[in-house]
């Protein structure tokens, strides 16, 4: 009597663990959607000097900064690029009350002869604050997106390392796939290993080297796809620094 009872208990425990993993995967997918919306909304969008004038005249500018491009070093798919601060940089970056970020090429500041760009900065300083001020909507939303991305990364690593062995590929395979931009690898892992784990895998699981190669190829394809979509639809629809 004890052995059948143990068998039923183990079956129930496995079923509960499976349901728990499914529920967690649904939560992770919803968190990814929330991150994607926040990251898209707060991503820098290029505008012209005339847009800066319109936003300034309408009183829509919350924060601003001069910069010499964007700092992409050390970032990951959940982090918004930060400006390379330069008081005489060619780029003016500003944020709006709804959390959006815009930037425009105003040219490098010159100390020899005053220009309209100098006057614009003086006007900005009267109505707006410097970059990364506590409480600015753009910063709060960008920080929320980064927090969601960090929580997703930790949950994914925890399930990958501590969960049951994957079927389609080894743990190293999914580790490299998980590094794809925009969380694409995370979505692939959720789809294949969590929602369709009962689907029979191939004769051999994909190795870590295969994951490394597919990760490189996938990163290249995603980068080219983003460039193509940005060329078709413009930086308003496909933003980026």
Place of tokens 């925009």: 182
Global confidence as pTM: 0.82
- pLDDT tens digit sequence for 32-69: 999 999 999 999 999 988 999 899 888 899 999 899 98
Average pLDDT across the chain, whole number:
82
pLDDT at 164 over 70: yes
pLDDT at 133 over 70: no
Which of 76, 15, 58, 33 lies closest to 219, judged by CA?
A: 76
CB 208 within 8 A of CB 175: yes
pLDDT at 10 over 60: no
Q: How far is CA 87 from CA 17, 84, 90, 91, 126, in A?
A: 55, 10, 9, 10, 17
* Euclidean distance between CA atoms 203 and 62, whole angstroms: 58
pLDDT at 6 over 50: no
Q: Which of 70-79, 98-107, 204-213 has the lowest mean pLDDT?
A: 70-79
């Amino acid at each position: 009597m004890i052995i059948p009872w143990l068998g039923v208990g183990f079956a129930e425990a496995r079923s509960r663990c499976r349901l728990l993993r499914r529920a967690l995967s649904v939560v992770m997918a919803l968190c990814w959607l929330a991150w994607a919306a926040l990251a898209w909304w707060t991503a820098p969008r290029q505008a012209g000097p005339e847009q800066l004038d319109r936003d300034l005249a309408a009183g829509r500018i919350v924060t601003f900064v001069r910069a010499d491009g964007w700092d992409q070093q050390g970032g990951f798919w959940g982090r918004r690029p930060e400006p390379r601060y330069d008081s005489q940089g060619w780029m003016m970056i500003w944020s709006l009350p709804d959390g959006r970020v815009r930037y425009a090429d105003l040219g490098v500041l010159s100390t020899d002869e005053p220009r309209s760009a100098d006057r614009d900065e003086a006007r900005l300083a009267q109505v707006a604050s410097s970059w990364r001020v506590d409480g600015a909507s753009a910063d709060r939303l960008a920080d929320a997106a980064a927090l969601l991305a960090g929580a997703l990364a930790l949950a994914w690593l925890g399930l990958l390392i501590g969960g049951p062995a994957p079927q389609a590929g080894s743990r190293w395979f999914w580790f490299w796939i998980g590094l794809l931009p925009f969380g694409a690898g995370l979505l692939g892992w959720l789809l294949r290993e969590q929602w369709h784990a009962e689907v029979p895998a191939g004769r051999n699981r994909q190795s870590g080297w295969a994951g490394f190669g597919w990760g490189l190829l996938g990163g290249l394809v995603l980068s080219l796809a983003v460039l193509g979509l940005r060329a078709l639809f413009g930086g308003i629809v496909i933003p980026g620094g």
